[in-house]
């Protein structure tokens, strides 16, 4: 009987033969009797294991649904949150018109695909749709084209919209430490933006994203300002 190497087993029972191996008759008979599916591939066992690990980690990942508008803004996955009536969808529409992409509106499905990564997708029922008050449902893909929508993005930033009184009551004007929000056990950077008539919120959101990109690269403007202030005080003394 030919020796079969590199057999990958899954649960529920499935056999995958890699490296172009041929299954011996005895193994085929055992699988038929036990009703165990068998697959064979010419790919290497390392490749098969990597593919299966990635697939299974996503399939069995912890998941949660959150309310908001999830977008690709300047290449970063950004969730826009806030209480009802603050104009999240209108903001999303303006950001789309500025060249950014929509992932999901209203309800977003998030999956923790590994220890530090959260991936967001749109429920099938809401695919490509954005609801704008007074207009109704908009098919973003049909209006703006395929480049205006994304199938999924990794969550890197939460932009939380608040009213003026909420900002003054609950948040510091210049927080000394970065704000984070827990999503499926992973801390995600958070920025709070006050919604006031006359403010260009889309520009502020893009500026917040650019600043977050700098922080991820190790450039912290606030800490640089604190250091500059400290040097000025030392020279004055």
Q: Are 71 and 95 in contact (CB under 8 A)?
A: yes
Q: What was the pLDDT predicted at 5?
A: 42
Q: What was the pLDDT predicted at 108?
A: 96
Q: What was the pLDDT predicted at 9?
A: 47
Active site residues: 67, 88, 106, 173
Q: What was the pLDDT predicted at 229?
A: 85
Better-scored residue on pLDDT, 83 or 6: 83
Q: What was the pLDDT predicted at 144?
A: 96
Domain-wise residue ranges, the chain: 7-59, 62-222
Q: What was the pLDDT predicted at 95?
A: 97
Q: What was the pLDDT predicted at 12?
A: 59
177-221: per-residue pLDDT in tens? 778 999 999 999 999 999 888 889 999 999 999 999 998 888 888
Q: What was the pLDDT predicted at 216?
A: 87
Q: What is the CATH number of domain 62-222?
A: 3.40.50.300
Site of tokens 């912290």:
220
Better-scored residue on pLDDT, 144 or 167: 144
Question: Does pLDDT of 131 surpass 70?
Answer: yes
77-112: per-residue pLDDT in tens? 999 999 888 899 999 999 999 999 999 999 999 999
Q: Are 200 and 207 in contact (CB under 8 A)?
A: no
Half-sphere exposure of 233 (CA within 13 A, CB side): 6
Question: Does pLDDT of 149 surpass 60?
Answer: yes
Which of these, 128, 146, 148, 147, lies nearest to 138 by C-alpha position?
128
Cis peptide before 23 (omega within 30 of 0): no
Q: Return the DSSP state at 220.
A: -
Distance of CA 88 to the CA centre of its chain: 18
Question: Does pLDDT of 1 surpass 60?
Answer: no
CA torsion through residues 160, 166, 172, 173, sign:
positive
Question: Does pLDDT of 7 surpass 50?
Answer: no
158-183: per-residue pLDDT in tens? 999 998 777 666 666 666 677 899 99
36-84: per-residue pLDDT in tens? 888 888 888 888 888 887 777 777 778 899 999 999 999 999 999 998 8
The angle formed by the CA atoms of residues 138, 196 and 76, to the nearest 5 degrees, is 55
The angle formed by the CA atoms of residues 112, 117 and 121, to the nearest 5 degrees, is 60
- Its pTM stands at 0.74
Question: Does pLDDT of 133 surpass 60?
Answer: yes
Question: Does pLDDT of 139 surpass 50?
Answer: yes
Q: Are 26 and 41 in contact (CB under 8 A)?
A: no
């Amino acid at each position: 009987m030919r020796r079969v190497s590199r057999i990958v087993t899954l649960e529920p029972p499935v056999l995958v033969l890699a490296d172009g191996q041929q299954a011996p008759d005895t193994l085929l008979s055992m699988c038929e009797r036990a009703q165990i599916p068998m697959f064979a591939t010419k790919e290497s066992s390392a490749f098969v294991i990597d593919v299966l690990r990635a697939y299974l980690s996503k399939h069995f990942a912890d998941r949660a649904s959150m309310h908001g508008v999830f977008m690709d803004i300047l290449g970063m996955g950004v969730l826009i949150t806030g209480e009802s009536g603050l104009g999240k969808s209108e903001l999303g529409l303006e950001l789309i018109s500025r060249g950014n992409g929509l992932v999901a509106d209203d309800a977003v499905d998030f999956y923790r695909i590994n220890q530090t990564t959260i991936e967001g997708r749109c429920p099938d029922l809401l695919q490509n749709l954005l609801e704008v008050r007074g207009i109704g449902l908009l098919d973003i893909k049909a209006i703006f084209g395929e480049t205006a929508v994304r199938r999924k993005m990794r969550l890197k930033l939460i932009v939380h919209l608040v009213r003026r009184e909420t900002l003054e009551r609950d948040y510091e004007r210049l927080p000394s430490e970065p704000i984070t929000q827990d999503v499926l056990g992973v801390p995600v950077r958070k920025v709070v933006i006050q919604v006031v008539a006359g403010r260009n919120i889309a520009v502020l959101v893009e500026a917040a994203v650019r600043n977050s990109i700098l922080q991820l690269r190790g450039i912290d403007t606030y800490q640089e300002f604190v250091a500059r202030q400290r040097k000025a005080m030392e020279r004055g003394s």
